[in-house]
């Protein structure tokens, strides 16, 4: 690096007059966030692993379907259970989009280029939804291929039972996971912390509430309002009917999504980016 010959280069152009250039359009930030989600090995492989995992599990379902003589197999067995596989994965993906900026300290550069931090966060959220939709699309394509194979081979009364509600329900179900992951990521701002917090909310707390509720009925009734899985399941199956269903859904969304999202907003706005 001490070779003087390395140093000549074109000088920087004369500075422009201080005219105002147009602000950066929001879509450009979304595009950048999508690019940033795949331009590192970690980000790229996370997406590949999720996709491969989906395909492998669907393949397994297909084998089971092919080898069993049960009638009444249907398209939704390829989609609904998979929603639970996707749930922690899309949450992780969302968390990584946010917290990697803090872990790798790129937030300094990002916020120097876009000081309106809310725009950066929104772009990340839109990018997370986009990636999630892409994964859901892969899921439906693979599910369709598997269903067609199953119907062709076994033929005994395969049911294409997919209604619009099933699609919308699954998308909303994953969107909730994205929102929760986003809330955790912005309020914790640390990759292992946020990734670790998600299973606590999604698995440990629902199981704990259920267990205590087995022995203490009153607690169980109240506890259901904090149970993410049992309260969001009606969204997935597109069967939110009773007032109770709605009430539980609203409470769960408030506690596990809205509160962390607001906390996270405040935290990111105030954070000294180091």
Question: Is there binding between residue 104 and another protein (CB under 8 A)?
Answer: yes
Nearer to another protein, 42 or 168 (CB): 42
CA distances 237 to 9, 71, 162, 184, 234, Å, are: 63, 21, 11, 25, 5
Question: Is there binding between residue 32 and another protein (CB under 8 A)?
Answer: yes
Segment near another protein (CB under 8 A); pick from 16-24, 57-65, 228-236, 256-264: 16-24
Which stretches within 39-79 are classed as H helix? 41-67
The rounded distance, in Å, linking the Cα atoms of 110 and 91 is: 22
Residues 116-138 as b/e (b if ≥16 CB within 10 A, e otherwise) read: ebeebbebbbbbbbebbeebbeb
Q: Under rule CB under 8 A, which residues in 154-183 are in contact with another protein? A: none
Question: Is there binding between residue 3 and another protein (CB under 8 A)?
Answer: yes
In this structure, the number of other CB atoms found within 10 A of the CB of residue 84 comes to 14
Nearer to another protein, 106 or 221 (CB): 106
Question: Is there binding between residue 108 and another protein (CB under 8 A)?
Answer: yes
SS3 165: helix
Question: Is there binding between residue 24 and another protein (CB under 8 A)?
Answer: yes
In the list 26, 31, 192, 200, the residue contacting another protein (rule: CB under 8 A) is 31
Segment near another protein (CB under 8 A); pick from 14-22, 59-67, 229-237, 245-253: 14-22
The rounded distance, in Å, linking the Cα atoms of 29 and 121 is: 10
Nearer to another protein, 32 or 253 (CB): 32
Nearer to another protein, 9 or 243 (CB): 9
Question: Is there binding between residue 152 and another protein (CB under 8 A)?
Answer: no
Nearer to another protein, 4 or 152 (CB): 4
Residues 233-271 as b/e (b if ≥16 CB within 10 A, e otherwise) read: bbbbebebeeeeeeebbebbbeebbeebbeebbeebeee
In the list 77, 78, 79, 114, the residue contacting another protein (rule: CB under 8 A) is 114
Nearer to another protein, 119 or 145 (CB): 119
Question: Is there binding between residue 109 and another protein (CB under 8 A)?
Answer: yes
Which stretches within 104-163 are classed as H helix? 107-113, 117-154
Task: Please answer whether residues 86 and 139 qualify as being in contact, where contact means their C-beta atoms are separated by less than 8 angstroms.
Answer: yes
Task: Please answer whether residues 264 and 185 qualify as being in contact, where contact means their C-beta atoms are separated by less than 8 angstroms.
Answer: yes
Residue 270 CB, nearest approach to another protein (Å): 7
Assigned token pair, 226? 């904090």
In the list 26, 27, 39, 118, the residue contacting another protein (rule: CB under 8 A) is 39
The footprint of another protein (CB under 8 A) covers 1-4, 6-7, 9-18, 20-24, 28-29, 31-32, 35-36, 39-42, 100, 104-106, 108-109, 111-116, 270, 272-273
């Amino acid at each position: 690096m001490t070779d003087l010959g390395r140093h000549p280069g074109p000088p920087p152009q004369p500075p422009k007059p201080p005219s105002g250039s147009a602000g950066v359009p929001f879509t450009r930030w979304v595009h950048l966030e999508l690019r940033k989600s795949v331009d590192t090995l970690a980000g790229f492989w996370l997406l590949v692993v999720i996709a491969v995992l989906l395909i492998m599990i669907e393949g397994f379902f297909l084998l089971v379907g092919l080898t069993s003589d049960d009638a009444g197999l249907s398209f939704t067995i390829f989609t609904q259970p998979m929603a639970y596989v996707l749930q922690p994965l899309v949450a992780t993906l969302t968390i990584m989009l946010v917290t990697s900026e803090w872990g790798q300290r790129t937030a300094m550069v990002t916020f120097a280029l876009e000081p309106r931090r809310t725009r950066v966060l929104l772009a990340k959220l839109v990018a997370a939804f986009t990636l999630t939709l892409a994964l859901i699309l892969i899921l439906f394509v693979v599910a369709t291929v598997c269903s067609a194979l199953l119907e062709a081979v076994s033929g005994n009364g395969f049911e294409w039972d997919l209604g619009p509600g099933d699609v919308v329900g699954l998308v909303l179900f994953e969107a909730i996971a994205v929102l929760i992951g986003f809330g955790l990521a912005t309020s914790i701002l640390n990759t292992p912390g946020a990734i670790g917090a998600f299973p606590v909310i999604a698995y440990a707390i629902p199981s704990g509430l259920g267990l205590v509720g087995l022995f203490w009925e009153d607690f169980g009734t109240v506890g259901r309002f904090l149970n993410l899985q049992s309260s969001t399941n009606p969204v997935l199956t597109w069967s939110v009917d009773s007032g109770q269903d709605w009430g539980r859904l609203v409470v769960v969304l408030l506690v596990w999504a809205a509160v962390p999202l607001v906390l996270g907003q405040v935290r990111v706005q105030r954070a000294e980016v180091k």
